[in-house]
């Protein structure tokens, strides 16, 4: 009987010691991390922050690119369009112009000289010369159009058996940049236009007129025949043209 009591007392004593040890272990402060562990943690946080900044920059660039592309004029390749669709689209453009209060067929346009006179007077300019203080007004038919960018369009202006290059640069135009791109995207081959600008030559030596203002006098509603330059084509201003234009003596 006495032995059983002693065994019970020892068990109670052991339980009390275990509880005290557990409490002491819980109360003891956690071991501080080492300097190397702190450095690793700091590097990981720095890399995560750099990764987050890069992701934000990518998103901003993507949004800016999408915004720029949406603001650029959507140019349809007329050469691949069905002639009937081309005609219908042109009629819609004219109707929209009238509805907005515009006049798609201006009453008149005063020219200061003909295209042959322009070529004869200014063909002696040096490459890259620009006579920005001189104002010239020309009229003719657009027979070719080339798009370099939303701020730069090239045209071949024909009249009376001669041609001159039109170098429409947004920097020289009276139009705002957005209006400039929208307007020139709507100009088509075959349109009769009036141009007021200054004479000059491109860096490659092409005699040109640089428009301050550009007016479509008569819209060509039907698709023009495609023009393909053959081998040995001469691009000088006064050479024979391939297509008939107003003022030419006869049809080719």
DSSP string computed for 196-212: EEEEEE-TT--EEEEEE
Report helix, strand or coil for 153: strand
Report helix, strand or coil for 38: helix
pLDDT of 235 above 70: no
Who wins on pLDDT, 126 or 99? Answer: 126
User: Cα(191)–Cα(188) distance, rounded to whole angstroms?
Assistant: 6
Contact of 159 with 246, CB cutoff 8 Å: yes
Q: What percent of the chain has pLDDT over 70?
A: 71
**pTM listed for this prediction:** 0.58
Residue 164 burial by CB count (10 A; 0-12/13-18/19+): exposed, middle or buried?
buried
Q: Which domains are seen in the chain, by residue range?
A: 110-218 (2.40.50.140)
User: Cα(115)–Cα(7) distance, rounded to whole angstroms?
Assistant: 126
User: Cα(92)–Cα(90) distance, rounded to whole angstroms?
Assistant: 5
Query: Count of CB atoms within 10 A of residue 41's CB?
Result: 11
User: Cα(245)–Cα(162) distance, rounded to whole angstroms?
Assistant: 10
H or E stretch including 138?
A: strand 136-149
- pLDDT category of residue 60 using cuts at 50, 70 and 90: confident
Please provide the distance, in angstroms rounded to a whole number, between the alpha carbons at the two ends of the chain. Answer: 137
Q: Dihedral through CA 197, CA 198, CA 202, CA 207, nearest 10?
A: 90
User: Cα(157)–Cα(115) distance, rounded to whole angstroms?
Assistant: 8
Query: Closest Cα to residue 143, out of 73, 87, 220, 83?
Result: 220
% helix, strand, coil for the chain, step of 5: 40, 20, 40
pLDDT tens digits, 158-206:
999 999 999 999 999 999 988 999 899 889 999 999 999 999 999 999 9
């Amino acid at each position: 009987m006495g032995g059983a009591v002693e065994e019970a007392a020892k068990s109670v004593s052991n339980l009390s010691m275990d509880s005290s040890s557990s409490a002491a272990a819980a109360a003891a402060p956690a071991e501080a991390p080492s300097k190397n562990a702190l450095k690793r943690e700091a590097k990981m946080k720095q890399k995560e922050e750099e990764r987050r900044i890069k992701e934000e920059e990518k998103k901003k660039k993507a949004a800016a690119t999408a915004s720029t592309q949406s603001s650029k004029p959507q140019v349809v390749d007329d050469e691949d369009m069905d002639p009937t669709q081309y005609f219908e689209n042109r009629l819609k453009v004219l109707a929209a112009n009238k509805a907005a209060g515009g006049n798609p067929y201006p009453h008149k346009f005063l020219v200061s000289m003909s295209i042959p006179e322009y070529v004869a007077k200014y063909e002696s300019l040096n490459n890259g010369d620009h006579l920005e203080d001189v104002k010239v007004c020309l009229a003719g038919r657009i027979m070719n159009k080339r798009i370099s960018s939303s701020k730069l369009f090239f045209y071949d202006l024909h009249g009376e058996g001669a041609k001159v290059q039109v170098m429409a640069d947004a920097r020289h135009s009276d139009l705002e940049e957005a209006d400039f791109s929208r307007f020139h995207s709507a100009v088509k081959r075959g349109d009769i236009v009036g141009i007021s600008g200054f004479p000059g030559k491109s860096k490659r030596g092409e005699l040109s007129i640089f428009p301050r203002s550009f007016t479509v006098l008569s819209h060509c509603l039907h698709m023009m025949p495609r023009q393909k330059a053959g081998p040995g084509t001469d691009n000088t201003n006064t050479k024979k043209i391939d297509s008939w234009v107003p003022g030419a003596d006869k049809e080719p």
